[in-house]
Structure 1
Amino acid sequence: MEFEEPGSISDTWSTDHPGPFLVVGHNAQPEAMSALATAVGLARRLGAFIHVVHAMTMEDFPIDPDSLYWEHQGDQELARQREMAENYLNETDVRWAYHMIGRDPFVALHDAAERCDALMIIVGTRRAWLTHLLRGSVAHQLERNAGRPVLLVPTPQQR
């Protein structure tokens, strides 16, 4: 599986689209698909280009890193997540690019938004109290530090 190395933004960020640009976070969680659907709706209204950003984390890989197939299974999971987003986006009329970046999710989304001067960052949010208690959520980090609007999209059952 190819991905952008930490600290680098590849040429895939260049586009002939005049903007505006939206950055949306994507992962395997249901709230990510809610955020993606919201981004598509906004992109249609604004004539925007969507940069979908998947920050690779250990959550994308199996629990046992000593497993003989750990890397292969992780690659398969990353490919599944990308395919899920691409299948959804291919059914729309918006322009988009998918980026897989090996960085902390907050840093990946923040840097992506800076790189393309995004109008806003769109992320799904959930009520994961334990994760929030231990390290804070990416959504809340962005809210406090992004320097641009951040749209927090709940899953449908939270609405």
Structure 2
Amino acid sequence: MTEQHEEHAQRFERGTDGPKVILVGVDGSESSMRAAAYASGLARRQHALLAVVYVQPVLAAGAALGAPVLETTDEIAEDLVTQIRQAAERVRGIFEVRWQFHTFRGDPYAGLVTAAEDLKADAVVVGASEQAGHRIIGSVAVRLVKAGRWPVTVVP
């Protein structure tokens, strides 16, 4: 093998033979659950791993006031895992999807970027924002698209 060929063989390439990892961001909202359903269909058809990611928000103001922030976000994560397991069980034997659940802490955009990098995602799927203010400052989905690092699908 030539030195140039060896260097190329050792480098990671995204999406060269179809996606290997499809990342979906979930937060319990209806649009994120629709995104998870859409992403699971993609993962099934592409024989890819579905990485389901929940980014636990760090609410500094709530923590300063003594609110049990981590307990609440941990409960949300546990509920999401339960919902995903139930959905996977309902389609067992009909549709098989390999999936993993991951939690990251931070703001949703930074958490999803970190997750996509760490998990070497080939594609990212998110639900459309349901908050009116995001039309002005930009939603997580818009920021992911603008980053231009992965194909991003925004599910309404």
* TM-score past 0.5 threshold: yes
> Normalised by the size of structure 1, how large is the TM-score?
0.71
Aligned position for 1:91:
90
Q: For the Cα contact (< 8 Å) 1:110–1:146, is it kept in 2?
A: no
Deviations 1:16-50 (A, max 9, x none): xxx61100001111001100000111111100101
Matches within 5 A, 1:67-86: 67=67, 71-86=70-85
Structure-1 separation of matches of 2:77 and 2:106: 14
Alpha carbons of 1:152 and 1:88: their partners in 2 closer, same or farther (altered >3 Å)? same
Query: How big is the shift at 1:72?
Result: 3.8
1:71, distance to aligned residue in structure 2 (A): 4.7
Following the alignment from structure 2 to structure 1, what is the Cα–Cα distance between the partners of residues 150 and 111? 15
Matches within 5 A, 1:111-126: 111-126=114-129
Range that drifts further, 75-84 or 27-36: 75-84
1:28-107 equivalent positions in 2, closer than 5 A? 28-57=28-57, 65-67=65-67, 71-92=70-91, 93-107=96-110
Number of positions where the alignment pairs a residue of Structure 1 with one of Structure 2: 132
Task: Give the deviation of 1:84 after TM superposition.
Answer: 1.7
Return the match for 1:148 from 140, 147, 150: 150
Are 2:111 and 1:108 equivalent residues in the alignment?
yes
Distance 1:47 1:127, change over 3 A: same
Q: CA separation in 2, counterparts of 1:112 and 1:146?
A: 15
Are the structure 2 counterparts of residues 56 and 146 from structure 1 closer, same or farther at C-alpha, using a change threshold of 3 Å? Answer: farther
Cα RMSD over matched residues?
A: 2.5
Relative to structure 1, the CA distance from residue 66 to residue 132 in structure 2 (aligned partners, 3 Å threshold; closer, same or farther) is farther
Where does the alignment leave 5 or more consecutive residues of structure 2 unmatched?
A: 1-18
Kindly tell me: are residues 83 and 120 of structure 1, through their superposed partners in 2, closer, same or farther at Cα, counting changes over 3 Å?
same
